[in-house]
Amino acid sequence: MRGLLKTKLKRVLGTAIALAITLITIAPAAAYAAENPLMFTVNQSFITTSDTVDATFKYRLTPLETGWPMPEGSTAEGYTFTLEGDDSVQLGPLDFSKQSICKYELSQVIEKEKQGYTYDKQTYMIEVWGSPDGRVEYAINNRDGTKSELLLFENSYKPLPSDPKLMTDPPVKKTVSGNPEKPGTFTFRLEARDPSWPMPEGSLGGVKTITVKGSGKGEFGTWSYAQPGTYYYTVSEVNAGENGYTYDTEVYTIIDTVADKNGRLALSRVVTNHANKKVSSLTFINKFSSPLGGSPGGGGGGGGGGIGSDIANSLTGKPGDGPKTGDDTNITLYIVLIVIGGAVAAGSGIYLAAAGRKRKKEGR
């Protein structure tokens, strides 16, 4: 009996000693974990050029198994929180007194992607465990398994460029008054106030030119805007100094107001003339007068005129009073021939009459 009792006492004593050792080992670790709970820091970066867009984004921390430590306020879906602009938040405290590995996923909640936004779709894998010496350790991995030092989400907003198909492109309308023998070629210039501003294809240094032959129309083309703001352009005719033409000196101003409309830039355009009056087209009128002088209709005062003047000018080769077309030249020639013919006929008549009188006298 005495031997059996000693054996039982040894077993009880051994169990007590083992329990004491376990308590000595675990209790400090649990106490350390409770006094130093784990806090996750989540960072957000938001890049934008607009001060009026929504800068708030939603995130969720989800445990891969139920029962693992979670921040206060968690639900069955996990712990959901938001960040605005460039901001950060600490998640916790999380009590990891248990010496086991806990795994979590942290990702952005994108319920519906909005136009103009770029979302960070990274999913972080977080592993947390308590070590035997009471320390709480964790590791962060990216979706592809590579390690990460930070829990960082980078979002941005930039509106889509304006649609060039929606841009009103007012045509250049060219009219020539007068009667030139052949149509002239006229050049028009589109110029941006700032050479760095958007321009149509074919531009150089904030300038584009087009040509119109005679009376007709031409267009500079359309372009797209990538930044909101107000943009100014001018349209004018280039005075090429072509002989006989008086050039239109009108200068039109194009004012483009570009604003963000639900993630896309929208354009509002106004075109004004030199008097700041709104117009719907860029109209230029050039006047042509013959370099030889005179008026298209012929005749009139001043330096003489009329048929006699035209005949004299035609005979001498001197310029007349107005621009001559091919038909006008033919008419003048006919008149000259008629006058010459009349003079010859009159001279012949006088000569024949004189000869007749002479014969009569001789016959006597």
Q: In the prediction, which pLDDT does 179 show?
A: 87
pLDDT value at position 105? 97
Predicted confidence at residue 297, as pLDDT, reads: 39
Where do the DSSP E strands lie in the chain?
Answer: 38-48, 56-63, 79-84, 87-94, 102-109, 117-118, 123-130, 136-141, 151-157, 172-177, 185-192, 207-213, 216-218, 229-238, 245-246, 251-261, 264-272, 282-288
Helix (H, G, I), strand (E, B) or coil at 94: strand
Beta strands in 224-281 (DSSP E): 229-238, 245-246, 251-261, 264-272
One fold for both 36-157 and 164-288? Answer: yes
- Overall fold of domain 164-288: Immunoglobulin-like (2.60.40)
Q: How much is the pTM? A: 0.61
Q: Give residue limits of the domains in the chain.
A: 36-157, 164-288, 292-345
Position 170 scores a pLDDT of: 92
Please tell me the distance from the alpha carbon of residue 175 to that of residue 273, in angstroms, as a whole number: 17
Element (H, E) at 24: helix 2-35
**Would you say domain 36-157 falls under CATH 2.60.40.3050?**
yes
> Running DSSP on this structure, what letter comes out for residue 14?
H
pLDDT of residue 52: 85
pLDDT for 340 equals: 64
Query: What pLDDT sits at residue 358?
Result: 57
What is the model's pLDDT at position 336?
53
* Interatomic CA distance for residues 267 and 142, integer angstroms: 42
pLDDT per residue of the chain (364 residues) written in tens, 0 to 9: 444 444 454 554 454 444 443 333 333 433 344 455 788 899 999 999 888 899 999 999 999 998 888 999 999 999 999 999 999 999 988 877 655 789 999 999 999 999 999 999 999 999 988 777 777 888 999 989 999 999 999 999 999 999 999 999 999 999 999 889 889 999 999 999 999 999 999 999 999 999 999 999 999 999 999 999 999 999 999 999 988 999 999 999 999 999 999 999 999 999 999 999 999 899 999 999 987 654 443 333 333 344 444 433 443 444 444 444 444 445 555 555 565 666 656 665 666 566 556 555 555 4
- 160-to-116, 117, 138, 227, 259 alpha-carbon distances in Å: 6, 9, 41, 9, 11
